Amino acid sequence: MSASNEGSRMNGSGSSTPGGVTRVNLVKDLRLEWRSKDAINSMTFFSLLVVVVFSFSFDPTAEESRQIAGGLIWVAFLFAAVVALNQTWAREIRNQVLDAYRVSPAPANSLFLAKALGNFIFVAVLEALMTPLFVIFYRMRAIGPVWQLGLVAVLGTWALVVNGTFFSAISLRTRSREVMLPLLLFPISIPALLAMVQATTGILNGEQSRFWIVLLVTYDLVFTTGCLLLFETVLNAE
């Protein structure tokens, strides 16, 4: 109901172009999230739990935590991202929004990009909230250049959400879809995850991590292209 109002209101401002469709969908998702705060609350609490549980189970010293923090932080974000990714398409099933989208002439990739960008923003907010906690709990101090951590975070988060958005659209069509998403997403994310963890650990320890950043960039490019090429097929497969 509000979506149709939104649509008619935005029509005048170029929402019929692919970029416009992306913007309208992204704004809608952000507004929904802003009002409900479902994804961000559950993700934050979930990753907080992971931080606390890991901290108890390993009880690391400052030197040890520098070695393991890269792994911990990304595993926590990966698990938390799954929470948001699972909700991303499920909410479009109610009221047959996805069916309506399918019959509309709007390009499928615009919707995909909007969803991926939305998830990227959610996970980035989560990371911004959780990173200070990690620093405090694990007494972290980077030896290498800190700005590279930001680069790794952006590239790594995109790698997770672009595949995650795609696979959650696939797992929408399965029984027990909440379980299915990690089963599909984790194996394919292994190289990206390895690259994020190694780059983070490398930067924290002041080692060279250029290879991993290049690998992440390539991974992002290849999989973004792949997902964009295949998404229309997946959206229309019912």
Partner 1 sequence: MKKLFPILGVITAILLGYALYEALVVAPTEQTMGDVQRIFYYHVPSAWTAFILFFVNFVASVVYLAKRRPVADMVALVTAEVGVVFCTVVLVTGPIWARPVWGIWWTWDVRLTSTLVLWLIYVSYLFLRRFSSSGQTPLLASALAVLGALCVPFVYLSIRFFRTQHPQPVIGGGGSLDPRMLHVLLINWLAFSCFAFMVCWSRYRLEKLQREVDEAEAMASLMAPRGSVR
Q: Which of 196, 208, 130 lies closest to 161 in space, CA to CA?
A: 196
Q: For partner 1, give the closer residue by CB, 36 or 174.
A: 174
Contact predicate 79/50, CB 8 Å: yes
Q: Closest approach of Cβ 95 to partner 1, in Å? A: 20
- Of 50 and 180, which has the nearer Cβ to partner 1? 180
Alpha-carbon distance values, 106 to 19, 27, 92, 97, 110 (Å)? 10, 16, 16, 13, 8
Smaller CB distance to partner 1: residue 137 or 186?
A: 186
**Is the CB of residue 131 less than 8 Å from the CB of residue 77?**
no
**Matching residue, tokens 């792994």:** 71
The minimum distance between CB 154 and partner 1, in angstroms, equals 18
Give the nearest distance from C-beta 85 to partner 1 in angstroms.
15
Provide the binding-site residues for partner 1, judged by CB under 8 A: 163, 166-167, 170, 173-176, 180, 183-184, 186-188, 190-192, 194-195, 198, 211-212, 215, 218-219, 222-223, 226-227, 230, 233-234, 237-238
| Contact status, residue 143 vs residue 204, Cβ threshold 8 Å | yes
Q: Which is nearer to partner 1, 69 or 227 (CB)?
A: 227
Nearer to partner 1, 2 or 176 (CB): 176
* Least gap, CB of 99 to partner 1 (angstroms): 13
Structural contact between residues 130 and 155, judged by C-beta atoms closer than 8 angstroms: no
CB of 46 to partner 1, least distance (A): 22
Cα–Cα distance measured from residue 103 to residue 162, given in angstroms and rounded to the nearest whole number: 24
